[in-house]
Structure 1
Amino acid sequence: MQVITKITRQKNNKERYNIYLNEEFAFSVDESTLIKFGLTKGKLLDSFEIDEIAYEDEIAKAFNRASSYLSYQMRSEYEVKKKLLDAGFGESVVLEAIRKLEKLGFLNDETYSKALLETSKKTAKKGPMAIKQDLIKKGIDKKTLEKTLKTFTYEEQMQLAMQLAEKTVKMNSNKTPTQIKQKIQDVLIRKGYSFEIVNEILDQIQLEREDDEWYELITLQGEKIWNKYVRKYEDKQLELKVKQALYQKGFPLEIIERFIDEKREKE
């Protein structure tokens, strides 16, 4: 048996205390551990109690480290566990700290998943598949993940996808309807929307062009294509290559013919 002969508060951390046994420094503990074990001057401790105190203090340290980590932003259980393990805490200590955090409401994967879903919708307009991948990376279990994604309604997905589509149209005013639709599809797929949503959006979006707009577009894009091929091909072969390239970009044949005729007249 050993007796506590002195207890002092640490200067650099007011929530930790130094414990002296038989006049010699033995270990330090968190304030919560001090209170839990009723550590006071004159208290007798055996080796089993000392080990128990050390274990409980490790849990307190892990809990405090996790609390600090969570103070910056919400985290998943997986993230907190990895953070503590990387910091050198043992598996059992980490699990005890996590249980304490969950009991106090500081850690809740369901609440975290809902928050991530809402943030992803509002700030990045992400679709279900992209959000699902984010949740998987955060270690969210399948049941919680599916429950969370069920709250993302089809109507909401359509609304956000349409906003992305309209933004894409504005950013590609110098492109043909075919090119713009391809851009919209690429954006929506990358953002995690299903092909069903993508096709519905493409059916609804209006991308008509007037003749003068077509001519402006083909003048802009056609010149680049013409200059690209003019050094490689001659006469009919040049015209064929230019026609193919412009047709693939969605230009009507009559507009393409007009452009090529004018190019020939200028030569």
Structure 2
Amino acid sequence: MVVAVDSLSRRSMTHYELETRLQEKGFESSEIEKVLDRLQKLGYLNDQDFALMYSESRLKHYSRRRVQQDMKNRGLSPQLIEQTLESTYSSAMEYEQCLALAKRWWIQEGKRWEQRRESDPAKRTVPRELWIQQKVARKLIQRGYPTEFVWKVLANPEVCLNNDTE
């Protein structure tokens, strides 16, 4: 029980993560189940609370798809994941998030392009806007945003025109 509480004191964990950690430490299955049941009864181990907290903390930085995959990797049930994401993410909000990140990254990549243009001969042949657009698209897709959102956001003149003047 001490190892389990110590692990939970460092960071929140799912039932699956804590069970795996205790197995790695060499505890027997019967002992692990008793400890996990006790921690659930005491309220220290709650997958539903964890899922809600996790999705809310990732809300501004990652897409729905990315958070869904991360939660799945942490051993949460598909039903719990879907229920949590339905309450946390909306399509319109995810699009706005994608737009905000694109604007921010457009500025960053524009500055980076200016700095590296002189040192890299390849950048002299590629148009600035195309190079920045590719970089921003790659970052957004890596964060798990749907491709349709990414191209819709990058087609938005608000992203590139307003930020080029800053």
Same fold (TM over 0.5): yes
- What residue is the counterpart of 1:126 in the other structure? 62
State TM-score, norm by structure 2.
0.79
Structure 1 letter corresponding to 2:64: P
Larger radius of gyration: 1
Which digits, 9 at most, give the CA deviation of each residue in 1:75-133, with x for residues without a partner?
111111011111111112111211111111111111111111122224xx111121112
- Size of the aligned set, in residue pairs, is 146
Residues 64, 185 of structure 1: alpha-carbon distance in 2 compared, 3 angstrom cutoff: same
Find the partner of 1:74 among 12, 15, 19: 12
1:149 partner amino acid: L
Bigger fraction of residues in helix: 2
Structure number with higher relative contact order (C-alpha < 8 Å, ≥ 6 residues apart) = 2
In structure 2, distance between residues paired with 1:168 and 1:98:
43
Task: Specify the alignment match of 2:29 in structure 1.
Answer: 91
Determine the structure 1 residue equivalent to 2:123: none
Using the alignment, how far apart are the partners of 1:127 and 1:103 within structure 2? 33
RMSD across aligned positions (CA): 2.0
Q: Choose between structure 1 and 2: higher strand proportion.
A: 1
Residue ranges of structure 1 left out of the alignment (5+ in a row): 1-62, 214-267
Gaps spanning 5+ residues in structure 2: where? Answer: 114-126
Q: Does 1:171 align with 2:123?
A: no
Q: Is 2:42 the partner of 1:104?
A: yes
Equivalent residue number for residue 47 of structure 1: none
Q: Return structure 1 stretches of 4+ with deviation > 6 angstroms.
A: none
* Contact 1:177–1:208 (CA under 8 A) maintained in structure 2: no
Identity over aligned pairs, percent? 25
- In the TM superposition, what whole-angstrom CA distance separates every residue of 1:113-172 from its partner, at most 9, and x where no partner exists? 1111122224xx111121112111111111111112222111221222112101211112
Bigger CA drift: 150-159 or 100-109? 150-159
